[in-house]
């Protein structure tokens, strides 16, 4: 959200500080040795899932835009989604890529407000699905974790994050609040659109869980799938707090705590979280190619012939 250099430095410091704290509390040698033996088959499976994930997310964005009467070619949607995902991974804040995606679509569609709203609502659809999965996970794990206050802490955290998302985005476009509400009805809170949005977004969230599960198997974790799956949404939930660098540190810290509360090895939880982060970053690398091609194109336009 905040592109100020000091805010970016602060987020990087948070991520680095949390990772150093975990290295002090746990045995980093065990974590490194675990990561050194990543299974190539599971890595390949995870990367294949990220491709389907990005394609479906791009389709969701295109569908949302179409509800706002904005045209968007499929190649443009896929290219821009990969680019935004890559920027979100390599720059602090986690939303700068989406901001760029909104502005680039606005420049193409010549309808700035609708293009910005399209990205806000597309992200909102995903947040809604993540919230539903997280709440279901909390209910399943209430007895497993055997810490009742822990359930309420996460429920409160979830509410705070959803409030941050809604208010932050509304303040970003405070002059067009009424237009945003109208677009919300058209693209999301509509009896025709809502089932499509929910199904698509729940499928995207499922792909997050599958990539995380593949990361666990890639590091050799043998925890039963039905025991592991409910833990994952809570880790992903921590990544949504906008105070770190692409979720680094927060994700690993949450994994260590949740694994320990579930009676599992926290070092293993951290190793899985790191593997997941690396796989997600690798899955966005086509966006780096898009950025390189775009830079070359712009350079060619300004260079003398």
Closest CA to 11 of 304, 282, 204, 243: 243
Least confident of 5-14, 21-30, 144-153: 144-153
Q: Does position 173 have pLDDT exceeding 60, yes or no? A: no
Q: 100 by DSSP, 3-state: which?
A: helix
Q: Residue 258: name the closest of 141, 95, 170, 176 by CA.
A: 141
pLDDT at 1 (0 to 100):
44
Domain-wise residue ranges, the chain: 36-287
Lowest mean pLDDT among 37-41, 64-68, 135-139, 171-175: 171-175
pLDDT in tens, 88-108: 898 876 778 888 898 888 887
How many CB atoms are closer than 10 A to CB 203? 15
CB 211 within 8 A of CB 280: yes
Pairwise CA distance, residues 100 & 88, whole Å: 10
Q: Which range, of 117-121, 175-179, 212-216, averages the lowest pLDDT? A: 175-179
When pLDDT is cut at 50, 70 and 90, the band that residue 303 belongs to is low
Res. 295 pLDDT band, cuts 50 70 90: confident
Counted residue by residue, the chain has a size of 305
Confidence class of residue 204 from pLDDT cuts 50, 70 and 90? very high
pLDDT computed for residue 163 by the predictor = 46
Q: Looking at residues 213-220, what average pLDDT do you find?
A: 96
Residue 65's pLDDT band, with cuts at 50, 70 and 90, is very high
Greater confidence (206 vs 190) lies with: 206
């Amino acid at each position: 959200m905040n592109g100020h250099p000091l805010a970016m430095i602060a987020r990087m410091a948070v991520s680095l500080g949390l990772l150093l704290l975990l290295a002090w509390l746990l045995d980093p040698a065990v974590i490194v040795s675990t990561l050194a033996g990543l299974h190539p088959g599971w890595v390949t499976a995870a990367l294949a899932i990220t491709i389907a994930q990005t394609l479906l997310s791009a389709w969701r964005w295109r569908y949302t835009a179409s509800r706002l009467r904005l045209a968007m070619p499929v190649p443009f949607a896929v290219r821009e989604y990969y680019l935004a995902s890559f920027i979100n991974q390599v720059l602090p804040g986690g939303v700068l890529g989406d901001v760029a995606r909104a502005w680039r679509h606005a420049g193409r569609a010549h309808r700035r407000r609708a293009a910005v709203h399209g990205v806000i609502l597309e992200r909102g659809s995903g947040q809604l699905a993540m919230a539903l999965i997280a709440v279901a996970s909390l209910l399943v794990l209430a007895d497993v974790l055997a810490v009742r206050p822990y359930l309420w802490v996460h429920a409160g955290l979830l509410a705070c994050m959803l409030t941050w998302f809604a208010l932050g985005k509304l303040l970003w476009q405070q002059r067009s609040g009424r237009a945003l509400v109208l677009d919300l009805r058209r693209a999301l809170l509509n009896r025709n659109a809502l089932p499509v949005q929910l199904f698509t977004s729940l499928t995207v969230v499922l792909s997050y869980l599958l990539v995380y599960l593949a990361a666990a198997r890639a590091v050799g974790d043998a925890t039963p799938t039905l025991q592991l799956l409910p833990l994952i949404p809570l880790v992903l939930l921590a990544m949504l707090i906008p105070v770190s660098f692409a979720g680094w540190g927060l994700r690993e810290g949450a994994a260590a705590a949740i694994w320990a509360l579930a009676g599992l090895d926290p070092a293993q939880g951290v190793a899985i979280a790191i593997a997941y982060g690396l796989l997600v970053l690798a899955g966005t690398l086509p966006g780096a190619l898009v950025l390189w091609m775009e830079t070359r194109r712009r350079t060619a336009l300004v260079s003398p012939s």
